[in-house]
Amino acid sequence: MFAYLTAGESHGPALVGILDGIPAHLRLDVAAIDETLARRQGGYGRSARMKIERDQVEFLAGVRGGETLGSPIAVVVRNRDYLTPKVRALMDPLIGGGDPLTNPRPGHADYAGALKYRQRDLRNVLERASARETAMRVCLGAICAQLLGVLGIVTRSCVVRIGDVEAGEIDDWNADEVEESDVRCPDADAALRMIEAIDEAKRAGDTLGGQFLVRIDGMPVGVGSNRQPDQRLDGILAGALMGMQTVRAVEIGLGADVAAIPGSRAHDAFGLDGDSVVRRTNRAGGIEGGMSNGEPIVVRVSVKPIPTLMKALPSVNLHEKTDAPATIVRSDVCVVPAAAIVAEAMVRLALMGPVLEKYGGDSVEETLDNLARSTQAAANLFTRNLGTRVQ
């Protein structure tokens, strides 16, 4: 029903993507897609590469006159770095070459990938493993955001930790404030200390990881399923987020903390507000039994410090079998703010399957009709009248 694919090397000519299953008649805001691409390029601690790239979407298929056709959407984001003769000589798909990279970076795909693909030049692994590729995920996710937006489903993120600097307790946040922060942190005081920590890491030739929250508002009840393990919404979200470079842990609601809490404080009691069923807490993070429960979905993601350190970690030269420092390539110091934007995209892409399974139609209009009918039916299910009849 819904699928996407990306291709592209970090320093190759372009990143390409295909998105299949977006209904017809979605009017696209191309400026908003480019703005999302720019948000991913930002964040304190990015590499000099971000001064070179100006990521912009180009449509090749599936869109006419600014509206989706219902056919597969194909897009390109070009790599400006490829335009430099040096990079082109390395990466031209037909004649590219150069001295092999030989010293794998601990924590990177270099070593496992070299053995897996039988590549004696680590560049043949790192080019695809590089997080440059996430630009295309963000591009496709930004298209999905526009469909989800029409359905009233909005995804946001904010950074809550960089290295050992942690923001104060954050339940909800103002998206505009987060956009203005260089580290996407709504706690202004913590944000300053995060920037200092990044400067300090940079001076030391080191890198920093961190944590961010992703929040989905407007998700109707009953998306995802308890029918089979692979249909559970929490599993689908966690899988998508763990599918990002650098992500090491994904928690939903109370997350790992729930292990230490008795049941009486781990769940969200039901109450009534007039006729409406309400929750006064959201410890489950909006998902129960693998299905959305109508509360905001709140996910906490932990990312590791990236493995390219300017003060290189000990490694070996695989060709010469000698001790040697890991390969140093131009790199970022901290990607946590950018990773939060990628995570928004991954969440949007991951939601498409379950959302379209429940409400999907061939056009946006049909999808909206399905959503309205389903919401109405849910609202009517336990009206007092029906309740009396069942008795």
**Footprint of ligand EPS on this chain (CB under 6 A)?**
10, 47, 49, 53, 81, 130-132, 135, 308, 329-332
When the beta carbons of 24 and 52 are compared against ligand EPS, the nearer one is: 52
Amino acid at 251: E
At closest approach, how far in Å is the CB of 307 from ligand EPS?
8
When the beta carbons of 293 and 331 are compared against ligand EPS, the nearer one is: 331
At closest approach, how far in Å is the CB of 227 from ligand EPS?
37
When the beta carbons of 10 and 292 are compared against ligand EPS, the nearer one is: 10
Radius of gyration, alpha carbons of the chain = 23
At closest approach, how far in Å is the CB of 257 from ligand EPS?
31
From the number of C-beta atoms within 10 Å of its C-beta (0-12, 13-18, 19+), residue 386 rates as exposed
When the beta carbons of 8 and 186 are compared against ligand EPS, the nearer one is: 8
Element housing 270 (H / E): strand 270-273
At closest approach, how far in Å is the CB of 98 from ligand EPS?
14
DSSP letter assigned to residue 204: T
Alpha-carbon gap, residue 151 to 371, rounded angstroms: 8
Element housing 161 (H / E): strand 154-162
At closest approach, how far in Å is the CB of 131 from ligand EPS?
4
In this structure, what token pair is assigned to residue 280?
């006064």
At closest approach, how far in Å is the CB of 107 from ligand EPS?
11
Element housing 14 (H / E): strand 14-20
When the beta carbons of 235 and 325 are compared against ligand EPS, the nearer one is: 325
When the beta carbons of 150 and 310 are compared against ligand EPS, the nearer one is: 310
Find all residues with CB under 8 Å of 158, minimum gap 6, and list them: 170, 173, 178, 184, 185, 186, 212, 213, 340
When the beta carbons of 135 and 178 are compared against ligand EPS, the nearer one is: 135
Dihedral sign, CA of 179, 180, 185, 187?
negative
Which single residue is written with the structure tokens 């069942």? 390
Query: Which of helix, strand or coil describes residue 186?
Result: coil
When the beta carbons of 137 and 215 are compared against ligand EPS, the nearer one is: 137
Alpha-carbon gap, residue 196 to 191, rounded angstroms: 9
When the beta carbons of 135 and 167 are compared against ligand EPS, the nearer one is: 135
At closest approach, how far in Å is the CB of 116 from ligand EPS?
18
Amino acid at 256: A
Alpha-carbon gap, residue 310 to 158, rounded angstroms: 27
At closest approach, how far in Å is the CB of 308 from ligand EPS?
6
Q: How far is CA 241 from CA 81, 134, 365, in A?
A: 28, 12, 30
Find the Cα–Cα–Cα–Cα dihedral 45, 47, 53, 54, rounded to 10°.
Answer: 10
When the beta carbons of 130 and 367 are compared against ligand EPS, the nearer one is: 130
In this structure, what token pair is assigned to residue 305?
């410090």
At closest approach, how far in Å is the CB of 319 from ligand EPS?
21
At closest approach, how far in Å is the CB of 306 from ligand EPS?
7
**CA angle centred on 267, ends 271 and 151, rounded to 5°:** 70
From the number of C-beta atoms within 10 Å of its C-beta (0-12, 13-18, 19+), residue 340 rates as buried
